[in-house]
Each structure stands twice: as C-alpha cells, then as structure tokens.
Amino acid sequence: MSFPFEISFALLSIPLLSLILGWVFCFRDKFLKYSLALRVIELFSGFLLLLYVFLNKSFEFNFFSGTFFSTLQIYFGLRADELSVVILSMILFLSLCIFKYSIRYFDGDPNKYRFFKDYQFTIFFVVLLVLSNNLLMFFLAWHGISYGLHKLLLYYPNRPKAILAANKKWFVSRIGDCSLLIAIILTYYFFNTLNFSELISISHNSEAMTQLQNEKYSSFIGVFVAIGALAKSAQFPFHFWLPETMETPTPVSALMHAGIINAGGFLILRFSPILIHATFFHTILSIIGGFTAVFAALVMMTQTDIKKQLAYSTISQLGFMMIQCGIGAYTFALFHMIAHGFYKAYSFLSTPSILEENKAPKRNLSNFGLIFSYSVSLFFILIAFFQKELPFNSAQFIYVGILILALTQVIGSRKELIFALKKNPLYSGLFFVISISLYLFFEFEVSKKFKYIFPSDFDSGIINMISTIFIFVLFSFGIYLAKLIQDISNSNSKKIWVFFWNGGYIPAISSKLFKKE
C-alpha cells in the first residue's frame, strides 16, 4: 500500500512544488525546464496510478480528520478510484502538452512568467478537485479553479474585451459556487456526511436509497447540483461568457475548453450515485442540454471567427454530455468528456490547420440524407417503445436515434451513397462492424470498471422518455433551421442567419449589463 500512497502524495505535491518553483525562479528560463520535467514526472505517476486502480481496486488515504459544528467529521485526504484516475490522466497529459506549447508561444513575452505561475496554480486545484475525497475539499478546489482561470483570462489586463469577458465569467462562477454550496449543505443535512466513500456506500444500500426516493431528498440536491454544473460548463443560459474570451492567449483557451469547463460534468458524475432517483434532476439536464446543443450548433454555423466557432462547438458538445447524464448514460458521458477534451485541445493548439479545413466547401443538407437518417433514427425510437429485455433503457435508445440524425450532414445524394458503398464495400463493412464492436465493448466491458462509481439501476421512466422525445423534436427543428440558414437566397433565411450570428443577442444584452459607463 505504500507504493500507491507515494504516487498519490506526489500527484498532489508536485503541482504545488511547481508553483513554488514558479515564484522562486520567475526571472530565470531554468524554471521552465524544471517545471516541464515536473510535468513529465506528474504524467508518468498519473499513468502508474491509472494502471494500479484498474488492475487492483480504488483506494483512499486520509492525512488527517477534523470535526466541525460538533457533529460533522471530515477526513481530509486523497481518493483514487476509476473516475478520478481516468480524468486525472487526461488532465495531466493535456497539461504537459499545453505547457510545452506555451514555452514557445510566450517566447519573448516579458510577462510570460506570470502566465506560468497562474497556469500552475490553476492546474494544482484541478488535480485537487479530481483527487478530493470529500465535498469540502471539492468545493475549495472548485473555487480555486475559478480564481485561477479568472487570473488567466486577465493576462492582458489592458484589453477592455478581456476584462468584460472575465467579469462575465466571475458573475456566472459565483452563481455556480452558491448553488454547489447549497447542494453540499443539503447533502450533509440529508446524509450526515460529506465523504465520497460514505456517500457511495449509502448509494449501494437499497433500503436507504428507497427511503431517499420516497422522501424526494435527492431532487432538492439535484436541482442545485444541476445549476452548479450548468454554470460551470457554460450551458444555456450561462453560456454567454465563453464566446467572449477571444482576447485570451491560445494556451488559456486550450486549457479552458479542454479541461476546466468539463468540471461541471465531473460534478454530475461525482454526485450521480446519490442522485440516481432524482427524476427532475435528470430531466433538467436532458432538456437544457438538448436545447443548448441545438442552439449553440446553429450559432456556430454562422460564425466567421475561428475562436467563436470553437467556443460554440464546446458549448454544444457539453450539451450532448448533459443529455447523456440526463438519460443515465454516465459512462458514455465520461467517454464523451475525454474525447472532447483531447479534440478541443488539438483544435486550439493547431488553429492554422483548422483554418485551412474551414476553407473547404461545406456540404449542404440533402433531402435524401434527411430521409435516410430519419428512417434509421425512427427505427431505434420504435425499438425504445417495444424493447423490454435489452440491457439499455428506452431513453438511451431514443438518444441513439438523435445521434443518427448526424448522418444528414454526411450523406449526400442516393447516388453518392451507392457509389461509396460500391467503391469500398470492404472498408464500409469493416467500419460498421468495428463501430458496433467498440460500442458493445465499451458498454459491457469498460462499464464494468465503473459499476461501483456509477449507478447501474437507472430507470428512465415515462418522464425521461418524454423529455428525450422532446429533444428529438428539438433536434429535428434544429435541422430545419440549419437547412434554412444554408439557403441564403431566402429573405427569412437571412433574418434567421443574422439572429444566430448575433448569438440570439444574448452576448450583446449581457455586455450592456456588465459594461461600466
């Protein structure tokens, strides 16, 4: 047991050591070499921790305990389980890549050492958030991340747009902080503990969870958890600050979009064991996530600035993640979070290549593509209503039908589809088989590793099915609007294009509220 303890202690202490080195050697280039070496050691220890947990089991070490308000006992320490080590490995890898990129990006900048200090400060609290073993440490790290990001957003303090974006972010963050604090207070009131290990143990007690469901305790907690997560992950109506952060350096954007903004999803995954029966909580996530995904995707289609396109892409993708949490597909939400994190870091760190890709001609939505995708999608929706024995809930089948609507963008005419299948029948068949195999492997094998962390007895119920059908209708309406936006010859289409180009005028309204006369 001493081996994982040393790794855990290193994971927590090395970022702090990097921060201390940043303050001490802030006037020397040697600092960057030392800190980069520490990033490599950090990543190596994170991968070792990942292997240990998946090959053995999760573990927890308590450094000390404290008693507050005479009855509240909290064990301060580190918790390494399947969820934390997967997210930690992603964060450490992205941290290393962004740090290495930043060395060249800020070469010659006299204020670069201030960036590296704030960067390491933020990463330290991200690591603390992921490894926290109780909700009090989680909240302190949550607030520390917000403070560190605020300082990074103000790297250019003389730029008015940067200050405006930072002020918007500060306001939204306080809403999220207050909501999370209320959720933590309610959690202690109902469960008499703030330690994650005890909360997970309670979630596996069927008698306790039945009482929780009957007394609707989880619904009260779920509402505030949802608000905190939606605010942290820039979901509607808290999304308006993210597209305004164009004045920040590229490494800050990469860190924010690839890592920090996923904290809202991580919050939901951490609370998922005790919110399994919170129907209203899951409904909120599904509906708001669905609306945000459609709205942000339509806005992204009209943007000409690459950073705004990527910002609305992030908002839309996190909307999909909220839908996945809302239908109980927590493992896939985690997978989506990781995949999106790597993709978005690559997008920001290789913006020139993204600009070249944007010059390629865009494919318009074809009528055949719509008919084909809706035919396949409705097939899965019918299965959702009639399946009983399959190991998926009905809402998840409807969500698969929603995802299949993406084929409208891929499939052109009927001749193109037939030509593609005839030209590469072997590759087309292999792609289909591999895709289905990976899906089934992830669902039945990988998900087993998370069965103790994520609740497996999620019942979508009639309310969740109705909300998912509503999302399907919402996506269908979004496809209709997307087709209108592409038809620039229509006068109504131009009005719709202008509306979404302005982000529904929400950024402009928020700017008037936050600007100081």
Q: What are phi and psi of 78, to 5 degrees?
A: -120, 140
Distance CA 325, CA 467 (A): 13
Q: Is the pLDDT of residue 175 over 90?
A: yes
Cβ-based neighbour number of residue 498 at 10 Å:
11
Distances (CA, A) of 216 to 102, 222, 272, 462: 48, 10, 15, 17
Minimal CA–CA distance to 406: which of 451, 447, 373, 362?
373
Residues 328-337: what's their mean pLDDT? 84
Distance CA 247, CA 355 (A): 18
**Confidence tier at 131 by pLDDT (50, 70, 90):** confident
Q: What is the DSSP string of 260-313?
A: GGGHHHHHHHHHGGGGTT-HHHHHHHHHHHHHHHHHHHHHHHH--SHHHHHHHH
**Confidence tier at 32 by pLDDT (50, 70, 90):** confident
Residues 339-366: what's their mean pLDDT? 70
| Residues 98/254, Cβ–Cβ less than 8 Å | yes
Q: What is the pLDDT of residue 454?
A: 67
Residues 479-492: what's their mean pLDDT? 77
Look at residue 92 and give its three-state secondary structure: helix
Q: What is the pLDDT of residue 419?
A: 47
Total length of the chain: 517
Q: What is the pTM of this model?
A: 0.85
**Confidence tier at 339 by pLDDT (50, 70, 90):** confident
Helix H or strand E encompassing 425: helix 425-444
In terms of Cβ atoms closer than 10 Å to its own Cβ (0-12, 13-18, 19+), residue 142 is buried
Answer with the residue of higher pLDDT: 186 or 446.
Answer: 186
Q: Is the pLDDT of residue 306 over 80?
A: yes
Answer with the residue of higher pLDDT: 479 or 27.
Answer: 479
How, if at all, do strands 59-68 and 72-80 pair?
Answer: antiparallel
**Confidence tier at 295 by pLDDT (50, 70, 90):** very high
| Tokens representing residue 451 in the block | 């069965």
Highest mean pLDDT among 178-182, 343-347, 509-513: 178-182
Q: Is the pLDDT of residue 116 over 50?
A: yes
Distance CA 161, CA 158 (A): 9
Q: What is the pLDDT of residue 30?
A: 63
Q: Is the pLDDT of residue 21 over 80?
A: no
Distance CA 394, CA 372 (A): 22
| Tokens representing residue 493 in the block | 């289409």
Distance CA 464, CA 286 (A): 8
Minimal CA–CA distance to 123: which of 146, 99, 95, 97?
95
Residue with tokens 């909360």: 199
- pLDDT tens, position by position, 221-246: 889 999 999 999 989 889 889 888 87
Q: What is the pLDDT of residue 468?
A: 78
What's CA 251's distance to the chain center, in Å?
A: 18
Residues 142-165: what's their mean pLDDT? 89
- pLDDT tens, position by position, 44-56: 877 877 777 777 7
Percent of residues, the chain, with pLDDT higher than 90: 12
Q: What is the pLDDT of residue 220?
A: 85
Distance CA 141, CA 152 (A): 16
| Residues 463/393, Cβ–Cβ less than 8 Å | no
Highest mean pLDDT among 119-123, 349-353, 361-365, 440-444: 119-123
**Confidence tier at 490 by pLDDT (50, 70, 90):** confident
Q: Give the domain ranges of the chain.
A: 1-132
Distance CA 262, CA 192 (A): 28
- pLDDT tens, position by position, 241-287: 988 887 888 889 899 988 889 999 999 999 888 887 788 888 889 89
Residue with tokens 């957003």: 153
Distance CA 137, CA 269 (A): 16
Q: What is the pLDDT of residue 411?
A: 56
- pLDDT tens, position by position, 429-465: 666 566 666 666 665 566 666 666 666 556 556 777 7
